[in-house]
Structure 1
Amino acid sequence: MTAEIIFASNKLGIINDDQLQSMLDKINLGKIISSKKTANGAMGQTMFVSSTEGAFVFKGNPLYTGQLVEEKFFVEELNRRTNVSVPIPYIIDNSQEIFGWSYSLMPRLQGEHLNSEHLKANLDLDDKFRIAELIAKTLSEFHTWKVNEFGELNTEKFDIIPFKDTYTLWLYNRIMFWLEDAKKYSKITSNDFDWVETLLDDSKEAFDDFSSPTFVMGDFKPGNFLIYSGDSGWEISGVFDFTNSYFADPISDLIKMITFNLDNNESEIAKHLVNVYCSKSEEKEDFKKRIKVHMLHQRVLDWGCAKAITMVTWDNELPFSQWVEAYTDSVASLLE
């Protein structure tokens, strides 16, 4: 399930302090002091819990069987394989006696989200360049976890379930599926389909030739990592939420941060991020073709989601292909 697109949400619902205290008693983590729902948990599955033993993040009511198990696996493997800070220990209680569903508890990490109002108002250009470097290096560390197959995690045997057919077909079929889905909520014309198919055809050989899958976080964005300014300057204090992780093309992990920068008129920051990440690579042309498809993939999802929801954060009147092309051209130019 790790590579699936999840729009549904199993929210926590109403949780009382007696339940939380029962949880803390069960795992010997002191007496409850306070609790509150997290502001950045898009799936509504998380809350902060403070006790006499520390500060924690509580996550429950899994979206699918194995969600917490796979996240624990990824957290522990990344802790073992990299120097990136992740929420460890990651404790799971599979019983349903307290809340009616399984849950996990992990330490609350220090720092702020990059898109917090405080940081948006106080970061200068040098700060932003430094943070872009940290993001590039963090993703590079993630991507040192190399594997032999494209696919998703098998949460029973903890091996990889390969994608059906090839990675290229899996990715291309996924893009076309969500493009068709977007037609239900917006105007997608034959010209839009032609444009998408041309881009995919032009990049197919680059994907067919790519044979070095790695761990892919799948959702690296401001809401899923924290930064803080310590004695040696800015640092990433933690990365979390590995619900969408799988094994495929690592450069796909750059897309959400590039989009964040482009949407904030920070193309020079996006270029620095890409350059730092790609500094040791000699595959610039293949990178350019693949990253354009990954940008298309993300923008298809964003377009369909925005058009399907009445309360959206942006309103766009451009035809779909023109809107996406501005992003694919921009991301390709970052590699020049």
Structure 2
Amino acid sequence: MTSKIIFASNKLGTLEDQQIQDMLNKFNLGKLVSFKKTDLGAMGQTLFVTSNKGKYVFKGNPLYEGQLIEEKYFIEEMDKRTDTVVPAPYIIDDSNEIFGWSYAIMPKLEGEHLTSEILKNSLKKEDKLKIAESIAETLRSFHEWRVNEFGELNVQDFTITPFRDSYPKWLFNRIRYWLDDAKKYSKISNQDIAWVEKLLVDSEESFTAFSSPTFVMGDFKPGNFLVDGADDWKVSGVFDFTNSYFADPNSDLIKMITYYTDNDEEELAKHLVDTYFNKVENKEDIIKRLKVHMLHQRLLDWGSAKATKMVTWDDELPFSMWVKAYTDLIETIVE
């Protein structure tokens, strides 16, 4: 379910003060002080709401049937299974009486985004290293939720719906689908396709041999977690579990590896990876799978950038050359 949603977006539209107050009244959450759209809400579904009783995040107009139910389930599981702070309680109103669509209301978490100007101008190197460690430890705690099948959550009975055929086939076909889609917006040559196919072939055995699926957040990036240094620098909260499923946990590392390396902080990427794997001896299979996960993510980024014409790199640079710089980086970081 969630993994099929890539670029879809339902907006909240214009909301009135009285609608927000009606929502607060329904759950005894106080008198409205203010509300505004969140700065990093890419899907346009979220608002910050402040009342005289507290600060909340409002999420509405679901992208697909079951989105809020699914996210509530994952948040409640993370709240039970880990020490990570998540937005619980996650309250859902399935009725359409106030806004015309269902919505959720949850507590606003404390902390700052890693990308905030406050942190960019104040963090020291040792602070950044501690944050990288905390990110790794947070992901490791998420990935302790081990399951028996690769797949997605069925919100009807909260079982896992297995991927069609197998996880490797699902992943590889997904990559081929988005590579073909990228042809609509950019030049994808036969050489690019051959390079992708070789990478998939080289990794196939590693994926086939991997038989320990875990919970995967699916979108672990600076926009979806907060950090705080009140006691010691660490991840202070994680939210947005809309893209979660059950598969190879290593895929959750990709967006942070990319973020650090794009900001010339390769040392932090390496420190995060070293902390996460904690002296794993045989990393050959891990490297092969990480390269494919990097290809997958960078392909989505490439297609989105080309489709929206928000290209920030040389427009003449071939796709395979562009993404190869990232896949090659995996070998440097995972030693």
Distance in structure 2 (CA, Å) of the matches to 1:318 and 1:3: 29
TM-score by length of 2: 0.98
Instruction: Out of 143-152 and 6-15, give the one that drifted further.
Output: 6-15
Look up the match of 2:268: 269
Q: Helix, strand or coil for the counterpart of 1:211?
A: coil
Mapped partners of 1:260, 1:66: distance in 2: 30
* Aligned partner of residue 4 in structure 2, secondary structure: coil
Q: Distance in 1 between matches of 2:75 and 2:68?
A: 10
User: Mean alpha-carbon deviation: is it higher for 188-197 or for 278-287?
Assistant: 278-287
Distance, in Å, in 2 between the alignment partners of 1:316 and 1:262 is 20
Q: Which residue of 1 aligns with 2:114?
A: 114
Q: CA deviation at 1:15?
A: 0.6
Tell me, in whole angstroms, the C-alpha distance in 2 between the residues paired with 1:174 and 1:283.
Answer: 28
Q: Deviations over 1:174-198 (max 9, x none)?
A: 0010000001100000000010001
Query: Match of 1:91?
Result: 91
Match for 1:53: what amino acid? K
* Contact 1:90–1:104, Cα closer than 8 Å, also in 2: yes
Hey, what does 1:192 align to over in structure 2? Answer: 192
Determine whether 1:241 maps to 2:240: yes
Question: In the alignment, is residue 335 of structure 1 matched against residue 299 of structure 2?
Answer: no
For the Cα contact (< 8 Å) 1:24–1:30, is it kept in 2?
yes
In 2, the alpha carbon distance for the partners of 1:101 and 1:282 equals 51
Structure 1 spans left out of the alignment, 5+ residues: none
> What is the rounded CA distance, in whole Å, between the counterparts of 1:329 and 1:314 in structure 2?
18
Cα deviation digits, residues 263-312 of structure 1 (max 9, x gap): 00111110011010011533411101000000000011000000000234
Distance 1:212 1:283, change over 3 A: farther
Cα deviation digits, residues 212-242 of structure 1 (max 9, x gap): 00000000000000011112x1121110000
Q: Structure 2: which 5+ residue stretches go unaligned? A: none
Question: Which one-letter code corresponds to 2:148 in the other structure?
Answer: N
Which position in structure 2 is the counterpart of 1:172? Answer: 172
| Inter-partner Cα distance in structure 1 for 2:22 and 2:37 | 18
Question: What residue identity is the alignment partner of 2:179?
Answer: L
Distance in 2, matches of 1:308 and 1:230, equals 42
CA contact (8 A) 1:71 1:241 kept: yes
- CA distance in 2 between counterparts of 1:93 and 1:285 reads 47
Q: Which residue of 2 aligns with 1:259?
A: 258
Q: Deviations over 1:60-90 (max 9, x none)?
A: 0000000000000000001001111100000
CA contact (8 A) 1:220 1:254 kept: yes
| SS state at 2:14 partner | coil
SS in structure 2 opposite 1:297? helix
* Whole-angstrom distance in 2 between the partners of 1:332 and 1:241: 30
SS in 1 for 2:34: strand
| Corresponding letter in the other structure for 1:66 | G
Say if 2:210 is the partner of 1:210.
Answer: yes
Structure 1 residue 4: Cα displacement: 1.6
Secondary structure, aligned partner of 2:8 = coil
- Tell me the C-alpha RMSD between the 2 structures: 1.0
Deviations for 1:135-167, whole angstroms, at most 9, x for unmatched residues?
Answer: 000000000000000000000100000000010
Structure 1 length-normalised TM:
0.98
In structure 2, what residue type is equivalent to 1:189?
S
Q: Is the 8 A contact 2:135 2:234 kept in 1?
A: no
Matched residues in 2 for 1:214 and 1:282: separation? Answer: 20
**What is the match of residue 302 of structure 1?**
301
- SS of residue in 2 equivalent to 1:9: coil
SS at match of 2:2: coil
Q: Which residue of 2 aligns with 1:293?
A: 292
- Answering whether residue 72 of structure 2 is matched by residue 72 of structure 1, we say yes
CA-to-partner distance for each residue in 1:29-83, whole Å, 9 max, x for gaps? Answer: 1111111110010000000001111000000000000000000000000100111
Task: Please list the CA deviations of residues 1-25 of structure 1 after superposition, one character each: whole Å capped at 9, or x if unmatched.
Answer: 1222321210111011100110011
